Amino acid sequence: MLPDNLLLTPDSGDVFMDKVRDTARAVKESFTGTEAYSGLTPQELKELIQGVEIFPDKGIGWDEILKRVREMILPHVLKVSSPDYMAHLHSPPLLESVLSELILSAANQSMDSWDQAPVATEVELEVVKTLCDMYGYSPLSDGIFTSGGSQSNLMGITLARDWYCNTHLNHDVKKEGLPENYNKIRIYTSEISHFTVEKSAHLLGLGYKAVRKVKVTPDQKMDISHLKCLIEEDIQKGNLPMLVVATAGTTDYGSIDAIDEIHSITESHNMWIHCDAAYGSGLILSDRYSDRIQHISLCDSVTLDFHKMFLLPISCGAFLLKDGSQFKHLTLHADYLNREEDEEEGYTNLVGKSMQTTRRFDALKVWMCFQSLGKDLLGEVINTTVGNAGFFYNQVKESSDFEAVTVPEISSVVFRYTGKGREGESSDDTNKRVRRALIHDKGIVIGQTVFESDVYLKLTLLNPLVTEKNLLALMDTIRELAI
């Protein structure tokens, strides 16, 4: 016998409300201190989690499982909303957007076809139009929501490949697979661009070899003269320069490549330019800093992420295309899903533009957040976080026992402690040890990276509730832990 209240029905409404309230209370109660992490080691967590039978014959029921979540999970999740969490491009979600997730999961629309997502399809179409307009694209542009930057980058590189093979080699990759001279195709990106550029080259059958790493200048932007050299060298060798992937906000430094200069080069060689703005896309919200990414409008395609600077819950990303007709390279008609006659009759089946079939209604989060918070408030969020990074950088620069790599353009700062450490310990080891101690002893989580083979620390300041006082206190805590 199946129990009542297995699904959301008119009869289960009250039970649903109770469970939502219980769940919300459990979440609320988990927001206690300010620590970003409880401090448990990987071994301690393993012991905790291995202590329960995951799939018993008879279920333990809602009350019991919620109790376990309250006792075992919530105390040890990383508190992304804590001002002590400054480690990754991983956002503290806006309070209201957490509730958008409840709505979109309850509705459980699938964005592949209109008959699975009628109003949701129309919402996504309108949100995409708004985004195209925000980033300076013409009405010929188009886009699609994705699972995030990795998928958006893969889409950009896929469409660049198919466009290139069509227009330069008169070869249809969709039907014929890779052209004979596929191993001459080249992609250019800076040496600090996201690893998904190489991963995409691998997945697309081009291999890492196809990716030419362009050096960066001391401010961590693509070195334009080196880009020119590499392209010229490849043309000399008979290779096929296809694409430049520019980064608007590198993952570590937030540095923004000179998109306008790169665009002149891609234009003169009739190459595709894709912009990876997974990080920097959020600058568009700010009246003060949006001009830093204004040249995105020149790019053939762009990666946007809303689960980073926009503070929406994972997952939420989009891919925009300057010439929307290029989506044709992805389209495939299935009789049971997206009949060609549907389009003629005004039923949009978004699957034709996506790598996914079943797909989340993530556009709802953007739709709700933009309207609810408006440009003013979202702009203030960005101005605050970018301002914090500038403040921290200045503090580091003025301190004799810290150093930073470069002036932040967005909201991350790569820096290291250079003061006194423990007897016989290298500076790399001091910085590494301090970072671990911050996590396990202080509940403070910050990032770590490498610059010119030295270990550096990193703050990624997405949380607008971090204050200058927090940042000054962090510097003192690092000093204290170092000795």
Ligand X SMILES: *Cc1c(COP(=O)(O)O)cnc(C)c1O
Contacts with ligand X by CB under 6 A lie at 89, 148-150, 153, 194, 196, 247, 249, 251, 276, 278-279, 305, 317
Residue 252 to residue 89: CA distance in whole angstroms: 9
| CB 151 to ligand X: min, Å | 7
Residue 164 or 279 having the CB closest to ligand X = 279
CB 352, CB 332: distance < 8 Å: yes
Residue 266 makes CB contacts below 8 A (sequence gap 6+) with 243, 244, 272, 273
Please compute Rg for the chain using Cα positions: 24
Residue 234 or 305 having the CB closest to ligand X = 305
Residue 141 or 196 having the CB closest to ligand X = 196
| CB 253 to ligand X: min, Å | 10
3-state helix, strand, coil in the chain (%, to 5): 50, 15, 35
Residue 285 or 434 having the CB closest to ligand X = 285
Please report the DSSP string for 455-475 in residue order.
EEEEEE---TT--HHHHHHHH
Residue 210 or 462 having the CB closest to ligand X = 462
DSSP state of 2: P
| CB 75 to ligand X: min, Å | 26
| CB 132 to ligand X: min, Å | 20
Alpha-helix runs per DSSP H in 280-357: 340-344
Residue 174 to residue 331: CA distance in whole angstroms: 10
| CB 200 to ligand X: min, Å | 10
CB 154, CB 195: distance < 8 Å: no
Residue 81 or 196 having the CB closest to ligand X = 196
| CB 458 to ligand X: min, Å | 12
Residue 383 to residue 389: CA distance in whole angstroms: 10
Residue 371 to residue 241: CA distance in whole angstroms: 42
Provide the residue count of the chain. 483
CB 443, CB 37: distance < 8 Å: yes
Place of tokens 């060298």: 233
Residue 101 makes CB contacts below 8 A (sequence gap 6+) with 313, 365
| CB 246 to ligand X: min, Å | 10
Residue 227 or 316 having the CB closest to ligand X = 316
| CB 307 to ligand X: min, Å | 6
Residue 157 or 165 having the CB closest to ligand X = 157
Residue 445 phi/psi, 5-degree rounding, is -115, 115
DSSP state of 299: S
| CB 193 to ligand X: min, Å | 7
Residue 74 or 104 having the CB closest to ligand X = 104
Residue 255 to residue 132: CA distance in whole angstroms: 23
Tokens of 371: 């309207």
Residue 26 to residue 70: CA distance in whole angstroms: 6
